[in-house]
């Protein structure tokens, strides 16, 4: 079986009608990695109906057995870690050192966090009613390319734990690791139809979202894509979980140690080449400290050199596609034309990397809150510096976008940082560079989406509470 050239439907690899319709490209050099399939309407229907047929049996499967399957899948991911990491690096340019740690470590963490949450998911009694947590039904999971395995398991894991069955459509940029995941689920003993994978682009996604036998859509992608999914799902009033774009603020308070904080803030913006929906891409600093912040940022940015993502020493690889590169470069060019000043990086890249989708680690200053570069998601290694006079203005600037996915606050006084974090309109705030907590809910407000992922909150997305009410005694 050539990865991605067949669909995984009803527990078997199914020859695709269009096995070579799409192409995966290595963004480091523009070379073809593989051809893969585009699922047509009939194949979409077969996958959805397989999930529908498997649903009654999966609902009746004991929770312990469902979680045991997920444990075996976690072991399978760990065993295939090198293979999966190499595929992700080849498809979307993630540097191999970061890829092995994060792109493989996170989905394993997702599974263990889901298992812990599922073990606490019980029916409860409220008043005279028994509240039963029923699974939603057939779930379509549409996942992005920036953290492909993490997003697969952040959706598929809790859906299966809750008793739902799943049809997965991975991003057309990163299909090959999803094919390995189908193999891992098969080897782990997933019953036929419980987990299905179809490959394809927008047309495949549209067919899945509009299918009448689908009960829920879990989608991660752009805000524009989320609107399209919501519109297509509205006819049948399907449940939606949408994790969308962000333009998150990182606030440095006037008591923070700039020599420590500013380099760390660059990491919060440039990790995964800035291709993180929760990237803290707006650095909001006291106006009196602007020059010092710029100097430290310019020096720290030198450590984010571009290079071959297959080289373990590379910290900043290419963007996932050449189209993404063009969009980010245009945003930087426009910002410069609108008065932004380049502190580090900019439009130049080394000649030896010209064939790849590279963008230099870029820091821009003299940016106002209403500038397009400060309002629109860039999804590349671009950090803008904005200034404030007092905390009230800092909060106003932080909240002054249509997004609300993440945020950060830095202060020598943790209580002060938490007090300010409470005033931010966003789904998550990271205090003093705290690492990702997979047990905490992740998701946005405003145009950053609907619903939550991770832990107990993520698991609850896939259940429908049913009240069984008894008469008054």
> In the predicted model, is pLDDT for residue 462 greater than 80?
yes
Q: What pLDDT does residue 4 have? A: 79
Report the C-alpha gap between 470 and 366 in whole angstroms: 65
H helix or E strand, kind and range, residue 168? strand 165-169
Average pLDDT over residues 82-110: 95
Q: Assign 3 a pLDDT band (cuts: 50, 70, 90).
A: confident
- Taking the alpha carbons of 261, 262, 268, 273 in that order, is the dihedral positive or negative? negative
Mean pLDDT, range 270-294, rounded to an integer: 97
Provide the percentage of residues in the chain whose pLDDT is more than 90: 97
Mean per-residue pLDDT of the chain = 96
The model's pLDDT over 329-366, given as tens digits with 9 standing for 90+, comes to: 999 999 999 999 999 999 999 999 999 999 999 999 99
3-class SS at 348? coil
Closest listed residue to residue 136, CA positions, set 17, 240, 247, 282: 240
pLDDT, mean of residues 164-191: 97
| Cα(73)–Cα(118) distance, integer angstroms | 16
What would the mean pLDDT of 278-287 be, rounded to a whole number? Answer: 98
Q: Which residues are catalytic?
A: 243, 277
Residue-by-residue DSSP string for 394-432: HHHHHT-SS--S-EEEE-SSHHHHHHHHTTS-SS--EET
What is the Cβ-side half-sphere exposure of residue 327, based on CA atoms within 13 angstroms?
13
373-429 residue pLDDT tens:
999 999 999 999 999 999 999 999 999 999 999 999 999 999 999 999 999 999 999
**What is this structure's pTM?**
0.96
Mean pLDDT of the region 221-243: 95
| Cα–Cα distance, 234 to 228 (Å, whole number) | 10
3-class secondary structure, 108: helix
The pLDDT score that the predictor gives to residue 2 is 60
Backbone angles phi, psi at 129, to 5 degrees: -115, 140
Tell me the mean pLDDT in the region 241-266: 98
DSSP 190: P
Buried b (16+ CB within 10 A) or exposed e, 232-249: bbeeeebbbbbbbbbbbb
1: confidence class by pLDDT, cuts 50, 70, 90: very low
**Counting Cβ atoms within 10 Å, is residue 40 exposed (0-12), middle (13-18) or buried (19+)?**
middle
């Amino acid at each position: 079986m050539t990865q991605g050239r067949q669909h995984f439907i009803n527990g078997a690899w199914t020859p695709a009608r269009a096995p070579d319709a799409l192409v995966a490209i290595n963004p480091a050099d523009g070379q073809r990695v593989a051809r893969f399939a585009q699922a047509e309407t009939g194949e979409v229907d077969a996958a959805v109906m397989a999930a529908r047929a498997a649903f009654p049996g999966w609902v009746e499967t004991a929770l312990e057995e469902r979680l045991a399957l997920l444990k075996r899948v976690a072991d399978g991911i760990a065993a295939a870690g090198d293979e999966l990491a190499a595929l992700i690096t080849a498809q979307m340019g993630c540097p191999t050192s970061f890829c092995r740690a994060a792109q493989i470590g996170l989905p394993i963490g997702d599974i263990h966090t889901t298992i812990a949450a599922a073990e606490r998911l019980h029916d409860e009694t409220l008043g005279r009613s028994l509240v039963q947590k029923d699974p939603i039904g057939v779930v379509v999971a549409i996942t992005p390319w920036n953290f492909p395995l993490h997003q697969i398991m952040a959706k598929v894991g809790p859906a299966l734990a809750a008793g739902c069955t799943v049809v997965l459509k991975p991003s057309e940029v990163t299909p090959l690791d999803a094919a390995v995941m189908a193999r891992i689920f098969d080897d782990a003993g997933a019953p036929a139809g419980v987990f299905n994978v179809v490959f394809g682009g927008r047309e495949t996604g549209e067919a899945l979202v509009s299918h009448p036998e689908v009960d829920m859509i879990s989608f991660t992608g752009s805000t524009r894509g989320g609107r399209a999914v919501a519109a297509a799902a509205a006819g049948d009033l399907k449940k939606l979980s949408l994790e969308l774009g962000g333009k998150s603020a990182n606030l440095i308070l006037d008591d923070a140690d700039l020599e420590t904080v500013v380099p760390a803030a660059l990491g919060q913006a440039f990790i995964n080449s800035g291709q993180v929906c929760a990237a803290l891409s707006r650095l909001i600093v006291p106006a009196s400290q602007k020059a010092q912040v710029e100097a430290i940022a310019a020096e720290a940015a030198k450590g984010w050199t571009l290079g071959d993502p297959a080289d373990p020493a590379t910290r900043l690889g290419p963007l996932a596609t050449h189209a993404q590169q063009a969009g980010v470069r245009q945003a930087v060019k426009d910002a410069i034309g609108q008065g932004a000043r380049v502190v580090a990086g900019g439009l130049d890249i080394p000649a030896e990397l010209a064939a790849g989708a590279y963008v230099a680690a870029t820091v821009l200053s003299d940016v106002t809150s209403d500038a397009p570069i400060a309002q629109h998601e860039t999804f590349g290694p671009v950090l803008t510096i904005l200034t404030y006079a007092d905390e009230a203005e800092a909060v106003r600037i932080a909240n002054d976008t249509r997004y609300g996915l993440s945020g950060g606050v830095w202060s020598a006084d943790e209580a002060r940082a938490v007090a300010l974090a409470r005033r931010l309109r966003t789904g998550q705030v990271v205090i003093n560079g705290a690492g990702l907590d997979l047990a905490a809910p992740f998701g946005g407000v405003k145009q950053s989406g609907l619903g939550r992922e991770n832990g107990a909150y993520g698991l609850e997305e896939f259940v429908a509470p049913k009240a069984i009410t008894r008469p008054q005694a």
